[in-house]
């Protein structure tokens, strides 16, 4: 680290790093902070404490950027990296629901973002990475792209992303590395190199195509739904709608939406529903892959086919009203508006909570509990270790 010198800014000791650590194209802020720290022979904790002692940076998700609690941090990082402060505008996770950068609540997980589930500096879920991208010590860095939940494989290596260490299966947590490990591609727990693939499964061609399509929508800020150009936000809103439609269909394959997705080319006999009813972003990579492949299939269905199949199955506008809060995405209106509409009934108070839960609901909450216990187990091991 550099020697300090007085300057008329808030953090007068901030000046370009002794060992230049440029911010790489597509890199995440977590990645840069870890690399810069290790390059200067200190832990990520020491590094961030040195520059911003008033914050416990690693209890936050650094990839969200810092403008929601202190914009000065980003300005400091710009000086440290030698880049313009604007460089970081596109290099942070964004809030899809509002199409703006994160404003207020800094701890809540963002839509389309893999949660890290922080407990102090410890993450109960690992940081997503491609084992092949981690091979070279000096070249290794983490891409912001990997934090988005539609990203399930590495576009360069066509391998699945993973979140645990290939050697010890602990969540990958670069922020816990010590200076002795020297490079970001190490496991804080077993000190092994993160270049070991956990599974030898290879992403399907369809998944790869989907991934490219989603990346395109993200980078160009627009996409195509039912032949129409829509904004990025609408494109992802539609994608989530399709994912939920698939989940609904798989839940009851013999009911309306099960028949609908089957008629549109999804094999409801062999596919199974995610083990938990958690929101998409919280599902493990494998379960997200299955849902994305189905959603990609549905993305390719044209408006006429949608309308015809819906008519055949007596699906009305009301059918898409799964709950009071359901909003049919704008991009789907071309189909939705063509369907019949049944005058809405007002539902009287139902004794919903008197009914015993169905076995499916019980199993889903049991699986959620098991997942929580696994996460706690890893955390306890970490605490003892
Ligand atoms: Zn890769
Ligand atoms: Zn390990």
What protein residues have CB closer than 5 angstroms to ion ligand 1? 130, 132-133, 154, 156-157
Which band of pLDDT confidence, cut at 50, 70 and 90, is reported for residue 360?
confident
pLDDT (0 to 100) of residue 294? 96
For 353-371, what is the mean pLDDT? Answer: 77
Residue 309 has pLDDT above 80, yes or no: yes
For 332-341, what is the mean pLDDT? Answer: 93
Any idea which ligand is nearest the CA of 381? 2
Q: From ligand 2's centre to the CA of 274, what distance in Å?
A: 27
pLDDT tens-digit map of 16-35: 888 889 999 999 999 999 99
Q: From ligand 1's centre to the CA of 211, what distance in Å?
A: 13
Alpha carbons within 13 A on the beta-carbon side of 11:
21
Any idea which ligand is nearest the CA of 140? 1
Distance between CA atoms of residues 271 and 281, nearest Å: 19
Any idea which ligand is nearest the CA of 187? 2
pLDDT tens-digit map of 99-118: 444 454 556 678 899 988 88
pLDDT top residue among 137 and 4? 137
pLDDT above 90 coverage of the chain, percent? 63
Whether the predicted model's global pTM rises above the 0.75 cut:
yes
Closest by CA to 40, choosing from 182, 138, 176, 139, is: 182
Per-residue CA distances from 114 to 82, 140, 150, 190 (Å): 29, 20, 9, 24
pLDDT (0 to 100) of residue 355? 63
pLDDT tens-digit map of 143-158: 999 999 999 999 899 9
pLDDT (0 to 100) of residue 89? 83
Residue 190 has pLDDT above 60, yes or no: yes
Any idea which ligand is nearest the CA of 165? 2
Any idea which ligand is nearest the CA of 198? 2
Residue 351 has pLDDT above 60, yes or no: no
Q: From ligand 1's centre to the CA of 155, what distance in Å?
A: 7
pLDDT tens-digit map of 211-221: 999 999 999 99
Q: From ligand 1's centre to the CA of 136, what distance in Å?
A: 11
Residues near 137 by beta carbon (within 8 Å), at least 6 away in sequence: 182, 183, 185
For 307-323, what is the mean pLDDT? Answer: 92
Closest by CA to 334, choosing from 309, 302, 312, is: 302
Q: From ligand 1's centre to the CA of 151, what distance in Å?
A: 12
Distance between CA atoms of residues 93 and 62, nearest Å: 9
Residue 48 has pLDDT above 90, yes or no: yes
Any idea which ligand is nearest the CA of 382? 2
pLDDT tens-digit map of 176-187: 999 999 999 999
| Domain residue ranges of the chain, discontinuous segments joined by + | 29-181, 205-336
Any idea which ligand is nearest the CA of 156? 1
Distance between CA atoms of residues 326 and 236, nearest Å: 16
Any idea which ligand is nearest the CA of 172? 2
Residue 270 has pLDDT above 70, yes or no: yes
| Helix H or strand E segment including 257 | helix 256-263
Structure tokens at 320: 């898409």
Which band of pLDDT confidence, cut at 50, 70 and 90, is reported for residue 379?
confident
For 301-307, what is the mean pLDDT? Answer: 96
């Amino acid at each position: 680290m550099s020697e300090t010198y007085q300057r008329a800014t808030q953090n007068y000791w901030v000046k370009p790093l002794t060992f230049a650590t440029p911010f790489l194209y597509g890199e995440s802020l977590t990645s840069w902070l870890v690399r810069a720290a290790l390059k200067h022979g200190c832990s990520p904790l020491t590094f961030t404490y040195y520059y911003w002692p008033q914050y416990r940076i690693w209890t936050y998700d650094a990839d969200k950027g810092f403008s929601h609690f202190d914009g000065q941090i980003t300005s400091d990082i710009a000086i440290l990296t030698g880049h313009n402060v604007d460089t970081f505008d596109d290099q942070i996770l964004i809030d899809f629901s509002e199409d703006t950068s994160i404003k207020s609540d800094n701890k809540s997980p963002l839509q389309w973002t893999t949660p890290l589930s922080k407990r102090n500096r410890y993450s109960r879920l690992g940081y997503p990475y491609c084992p092949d991208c981690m091979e070279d010590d000096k070249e290794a860095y983490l891409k912001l792209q990997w934090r988005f939940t539609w990203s399930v494989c590495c576009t360069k290596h066509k391998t699945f992303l993973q979140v645990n260490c290939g050697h010890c299966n602990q969540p990958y947590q670069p922020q816990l590395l010590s200076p002795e490990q020297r490079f970001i591609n190490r496991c804080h727990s077993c000190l092994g190199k993160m270049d070991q693939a956990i599974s030898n499964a290879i992403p399907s061609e369809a998944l790869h195509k989907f991934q490219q399509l989603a990346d395109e929508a993200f980078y160009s800020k627009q996409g195509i739904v039912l032949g129409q150009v829509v904004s990025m936000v609408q494109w992802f809103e539609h994608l989530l709608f399709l994912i939920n439609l698939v989940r609904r269909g798989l839940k009851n394959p013999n009911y309306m939406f099960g028949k609908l997705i089957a008629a549109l080319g999804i094999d409801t006999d062999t596919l199974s529903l995610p083990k938990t009813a958690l929101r998409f972003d919280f599902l493990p990579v494998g379960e997200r892959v299955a849902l994305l492949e189905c959603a990609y299939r549905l993305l390719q269905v044209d408006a006429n086919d949608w309308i015809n199949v819906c008519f055949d199955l007596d699906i009305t506008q009301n059918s898409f009203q799964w709950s009071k809060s359901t909003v049919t995405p704008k991009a789907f209106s071309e189909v939705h508006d063509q369907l019949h509409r049944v005058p809405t009934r007002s539902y009287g108070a139902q004794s919903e909570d008197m009914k015993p839960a169905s076995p499916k609901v019980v199993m889903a909450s049991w699986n959620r509990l098991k997942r929580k216990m696994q996460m706690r187990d890893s955390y306890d091991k970490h605490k003892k270790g």
